[in-house]
Copies of this chain bind each other. A is one copy, B any other.
């Protein structure tokens, strides 16, 4: 597939900078009562992260934008959707890092929320980030029927049959050998569901029709899985400083990964297939999907 000549790094850097501003605005100020809770929510969300989910929302919005629709309302709606998925992602990291879960002290090169604050505050920060995400979706200035679709999508993808369900399977599978199929199922819930929701939310907000949504779904599914395969590869090939989190932790914790299931070469082969699937799914969307294509390249490229 021919690649368009676009300055993707500049676009991505611009989106990352923009979503930081949006997140700073939608989070209550650290001085608002209860101040310690709001401080911890801001600590959990701001000042770090690759913002891949926000970038997927924006890029899918670009790919789906209908001519003649009010651009400013859509821009605001995409900001809300992008912020919502980043808030959900941040909450999930805060809870995953807690002692009763992964018990991790380092995240994005900084102390995790329960280390910086305390366990109760970390749990409550996560608990409060979640409804803020739904509140933001509810404030999107687009047709209420689309708002409801977006809310439904985010709710399903983050619940017991999505992200949290995947986390529960992950917890239960420590020390077990999962088949590649069971591993795929777990990751498609734990990591894939929110990445997919990010892509589809961008499409919904921008008014994507059913054929465009189908392309986005195939793309999202491949990219969501690719993301996890790369994470598993990096867990054994990168060091802690590069990752900003503890390297080798999955292997040491005897967690099933794509590398443990398929070997390093097998995992890299799967990654290559997923990359091709994602790229192919974008073909019908044309040049407007260029940034989505670049994000797929970027995610796969984290391995290098």
CB distance from A200 to the nearest CB of B (A): 14
Query: Across the interface, do B159 and A95 meet the contact criterion of CB distance under 8 Å?
Result: no
User: Cβ of A28: which chain B residues have Cβ within 8 Å of it?
Assistant: 160-161
The reply on A156 being an interface residue by CB < 8 A is yes
The reply on A134 being an interface residue by CB < 8 A is yes
Query: Across the interface, do B130 and A152 meet the contact criterion of CB distance under 8 Å?
Result: no
The reply on A123 being an interface residue by CB < 8 A is yes
Question: Beta-carbon contacts of A153-169 to B below 8 Å, as 1s and 0s?
Answer: 01110111110110111
Within 8 A of B (CB), among A168-220: 168-169, 171-172
- Known contacts A101-B120, A131-B158, A131-B159; is-contact A33 B169 (Cβ 8 Å): yes
User: Cβ of A127: which chain B residues have Cβ within 8 Å of it?
Assistant: 95, 126-127, 130, 164
User: Cβ of A161: which chain B residues have Cβ within 8 Å of it?
Assistant: 28, 32
- Known contacts A37-B160, A159-B135; is-contact A128 B95 (Cβ 8 Å): no
Query: Across the interface, do B139 and A152 meet the contact criterion of CB distance under 8 Å?
Result: yes
Query: Across the interface, do A41 and B160 meet the contact criterion of CB distance under 8 Å?
Result: yes
CA distance A32 to B144 in the complex (A): 32
4 A-B pairs with the lowest CB-CB distances in the bound complex, closest first: A100-B119, A135-B155, A144-B144, A128-B160
